[in-house]
């Protein structure tokens, strides 16, 4: 995700590649980006050389990074941190840095890799409107973005953060259904993926509620209502809702 956000922002002109410093415990990860991004010698170096720190580590590693930020003794006006760690609250992170940085929580998703991401963010207590504007510009470079209350960010994680995996599973199942009915695998996958992409675009571009769009293609006694009835028999809608609930609950667990 750090790679997707950074490279997307560079491509969109948010900042030049020359302005980026990166640190990874595996230096090859930086080299693999295929850009002339400067590798910092240490975490301390990237903290001290940055105006904005994009924190892309696992939730259990956040505290260690923020303790390092605190030890550098920077003033909060000098450093903005954007954390994409699931579940770790602003209050927890602000306690870890002890007032030495402004913090935003950000939840992007992997389609940002192709400029089709869906993201949300929340401001910490020391963050400024200008910080929010920067986050919005950064995230908009790789998709759509909205600002939400922090209490909703775990639900965002369960919806758009984890959501691509649900959609991939649906595409695979749709293609498997076509395969069962005799359509060759490559064509089945092509039809399934394009169908999902086209349907999603219809929701976004028309602004119509999905139920309205569904009703327009569901005729009495037709093929679509037969398929929908089968989905309802299998508790499809309930399963998707429960998937979001389960992922949201797990995000909260990771934060604690």
Q: Is the pTM of this model over 0.85?
A: yes
Q: Are residues 17 and 137 in the same domain?
A: yes
The confidence score (pLDDT) of residue 38 equals 86
The confidence score (pLDDT) of residue 210 equals 97
DSSP state of 112: G
Q: Are residues 14 and 140 in the same domain?
A: yes
User: Which CATH number characterizes residue 200's domain?
Assistant: 1.10.3730.10
Sign of CA dihedral 238, 244, 245, 250: positive
The confidence score (pLDDT) of residue 127 equals 94
The confidence score (pLDDT) of residue 14 equals 86
Give the residues across from 122 on adjacent strands. 105
Q: Are residues 202 and 239 in the same domain?
A: yes
| DSSP states along 193-224 | HHHHHHHHHHHHHH---HHHHHHHT--TTSHH
User: Which CATH number characterizes residue 128's domain?
Assistant: 3.40.50.720
- 157 located within any domain: no
Domain total in the chain: 2
* Residue 44 CB contacts under 8 Å (≥ 6 apart), including other chains: 68, 71, 72
- 141 located within any domain: yes
Q: Are residues 138 and 185 in the same domain?
A: no
Q: Are residues 132 and 184 in the same domain?
A: no
**48 and 214 in contact (C-beta within 8 Å)?**
no
Q: Are residues 146 and 202 in the same domain?
A: no
Instruction: Give long-range contacts, CB 8 A cutoff, 24+ apart: 34-41.
Output: 35/7, 35/10, 37/6
Q: Are residues 26 and 120 in the same domain?
A: yes
Q: What is the pLDDT along the chain (256 residues), one digit of tens a residue?
A: 888 888 888 888 888 999 899 998 888 888 888 778 888 889 999 999 899 999 999 999 999 999 999 998 888 789 999 999 988 999 999 999 998 999 999 999 989 888 899 999 999 999 999 999 999 999 998 899 999 999 999 999 999 999 999 999 999 999 999 999 999 999 999 999 999 999 999 999 999 999 999 999 999 999 999 999 999 999 999 999 999 999 999 999 987 7
Q: Are residues 209 and 138 in the same domain?
A: no
Q: State which of 152, 174, 192 marks the end of a domain.
A: 152
Sign of CA dihedral 60, 65, 68, 72: negative
Q: State which of 152, 186, 206 marks the end of a domain.
A: 152
Domain that holds residue 173: 163-255
Q: Are residues 167 and 134 in the same domain?
A: no
The confidence score (pLDDT) of residue 114 equals 87
Q: Are residues 108 and 175 in the same domain?
A: no
């Amino acid at each position: 995700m750090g790679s997707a956000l950074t490279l997307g922002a560079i491509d969109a002109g948010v900042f030049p590649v020359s302005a980026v410093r990166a640190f990874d415990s595996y230096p090859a990860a930086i080299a693999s980006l295929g850009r002339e991004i400067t590798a910092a010698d240490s975490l301390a170096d990237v903290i001290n050389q940055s105006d904005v720190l994009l924190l892309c580590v696992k939730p259990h590693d956040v505290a260690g990074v923020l303790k390092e930020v605190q030890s550098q003794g920077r003033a909060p006006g000098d450093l903005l941190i954007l954390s994409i760690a699931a579940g770790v609250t602003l209050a927890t992170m602000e306690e870890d840095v002890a007032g030495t940085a402004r913090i935003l929580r950000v939840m992007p998703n992997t389609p940002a890799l192709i400029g089709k991401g869906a993201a949300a963010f929340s401001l910490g207590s020391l963050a400024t409107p200008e910080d929010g504007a920067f986050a919005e510009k950064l995230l908009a470079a790789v998709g759509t973005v909205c600002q939400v209350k922090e209490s909703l960010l775990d639900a965002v994680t369960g919806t758009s953060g984890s959501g691509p995996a649900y959609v991939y599973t649906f595409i695979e199942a749709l293609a498997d259904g076509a395969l069962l009915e005799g359509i060759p695998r490559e064509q089945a996958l092509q039809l399934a993926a394009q169908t999902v992409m086209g349907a999603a675009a219809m929701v976004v571009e028309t602004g119509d509620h999905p139920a309205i769009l569904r009703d327009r293609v569901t005729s009495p006694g037709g093929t679509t209502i037969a398929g929908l009835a089968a989905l309802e028999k299998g508790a499809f809608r309930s399963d998707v809702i429960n998937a979001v609930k389960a992922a949201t609950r797990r995000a909260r667990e990771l934060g604690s």
